[in-house]
Chain A
Amino acid sequence: MHRGGRATVAMLGCLLITTALGIQMFAQASFATTYQTTDFSGEWWAVGNDVPFAGRMPFEVGYTAELYDYSGLPFNDAGRARADAGDISDWSIPEFVCRPHPGPYNWFYGGGFRITKDIDPITRELVAYHVQFLRSVDRPIYMDGRPHPPEWAPHTWSGFSTGRYDGNTLVVTTTHIRESYIRANSALFSEKSKFTEYLMLDDDLLTITTLLEDPVYMEEPHLQSISFRRDLHKELPYFPCTVNVENVTPGFPHFLPGKNPYIDDTAKMLGLPREAIRGGAETVYPEYRKKLKALPRPSSN
């Protein structure tokens, strides 16, 4: 080896050693990551749900919703009209009796759920989370960066979901979801809706915030949250729903515009002004309390 070649080898060796000695400098470097920062898999159970109607379960969602109560929903006129036309007995028709809860609403129905991970066996990358509730179809949340389908693609009860990490938070975007309920009454979101869900783990507490953007039925986005704890002793039960076609009333239960006789029942029961529980963006901000005081209260039943 001639003299120049030895010099090159020596300098490369020095650089290698120098790099090794200074490696801690690079350990502090910040870099973008797509790998999981928090593991959300496991069995989860709603906090405070041991006693029916107590604990965290919001009154206006889940199995305690009152009919035609839209309080807190930023409904527009179309949203109100659509909800007023609804008849909760539509659950009895064969097409709906085994209807799964819509994906982003399912967190609020109560009970628990399971999240599993789909790991690529070769690359060991997280391809998808799968969420299963008592009354749901499998709901994949793709983590591999795939795009959402075109708008004309079929809409389903669970929708099409993709996820990404923002710090410790898992941010899930869901589109292509069928028109369904946002509350356990006839309050609906449209098939044009987009949900963004935020899964946040604080010590042993998992909180899920859902943000609904519905350009058809809502004046502005709607947020709600619910919390769960990991439960190592719960098993998600099988839910064998069977379509029963006996004693089925023909037709689709509904009310024509202006013909729903039950619209005011909840306002009367709660002693609140009718307008207040009809929803709307104005009603969800603190200033509305002044207007609320001036509105007439309904006479009770």
Chain B
Amino acid sequence: MRTLVAAVMVITTSVFIDAQRGQGPPAAPPTARAAAAIDLTGTWVSVIHEDWWLRMVTPRKGDYTHLLLTPAARKVADAWDPARDEAAGEQCKGYGAAAITRLPGRLRITWQDENTLKLEYEAGNQTRLLHFGASRPAASPSWQGVSVAEWKYTAVPPRSGELKVVTNRLRAGYLRKNGVPYSTNTAMTEYYHRIMAPNGDSWLTIVSEVVDPENLPQPFVLSTHFKKLPDGAAFTPEPCSAS
């Protein structure tokens, strides 16, 4: 009899505990920082293994290597005049979100708050904010636009993953510093991957897809690499330059 009583108590206790789990106010969802699939924070340096002569120097006027442009875009690019851009205060046209990842320099990533990643670039002294969660209010077009981010987790444990970022509300700028245009209707999707090299180096690979039917007949896809620097690495922003 005592055995039976003990058995009933064990079952009852288990059921009671389970019932407790379903009561009370729902727990607040974890912040983006707490739920991060990967740690992107730190200072990273772009390593120019690809497209070296398109990135380490400003490409010559009319050099559209890799780019398939609409006739309208080619006409605009052919008329590129860096002195005119400088005079008009438009020297940051080549430093917008659709182009800045490809520019040489360091990238510093920090959490601005629990749901906003801040990306600071030496190139052009630019800053991007990646917002997690609810959609953002409408904003005027700007060089860095509005970016909405979400973690993409692995389907099976252990949990890791990638960061996906969608950016729009961009002010019209240059996809390449030599005047190749992108419009204010441009949409850019990025995927941030962190990979480990056998020698212990940590790399950030950013895959970006730029869609701008006005200037690009097909999506423009690039991937760009940054290497992690030790804590306290120098970070020296550079002003925008039209040439």
Contact = CB atoms under 8 A, between A and B. Distances in A.
B203 A223 contact: yes
Contact of A11 (B7, B158, B195): B7
B104 A198 contact: no
A10 B4 contact: yes
Interface residues of B, number: 61
A225 B219 contact: no
B48 A202 contact: no
A30 B157 contact: yes
Interface in B152-207: 152, 154-162, 164, 189, 191, 193, 195-199, 201, 203, 205, 207
Interface stretch (A52-60, A120-128, A149-157): A52-60
Contacts of A292: 56-57
A208 to B, nearest CB: 9
Given A169-B195, A205-B207, A225 B225 contact: yes
Contacts, number: 192
B139 interface: no
A214 to B, nearest CB: 12
B3 A10 contact: yes
Contacts of A196: 197-198
Contacts of B222: 56
A256 interface: no
A288 B91 CA distance: 22
A225 B155 CA distance: 24
Interface stretch (B61-69, B110-118, B129-137): B61-69
Interface in A196-230: 196, 198, 200, 202-203, 205, 207, 209, 211, 213, 221-227
B231 to A, nearest CB: 19
Contacts of A270: 53
Contacts of A6: 3
A7 interface: yes
Given A207-B207, A288-B56, A21 B18 contact: yes
B218 A209 contact: no
Question: 6 tightest A-B contacts by CB?
Answer: A72-B52, A167-B160, A225-B223, A286-B104, A71-B52, A54-B68
Interface of B: 3-4, 6-7, 10-11, 14-15, 18, 45-54, 56-57, 60, 65-68, 104-106, 122, 152, 154-162, 164, 189, 191, 193, 195-199, 201, 203, 205, 207, 209, 218-223, 225
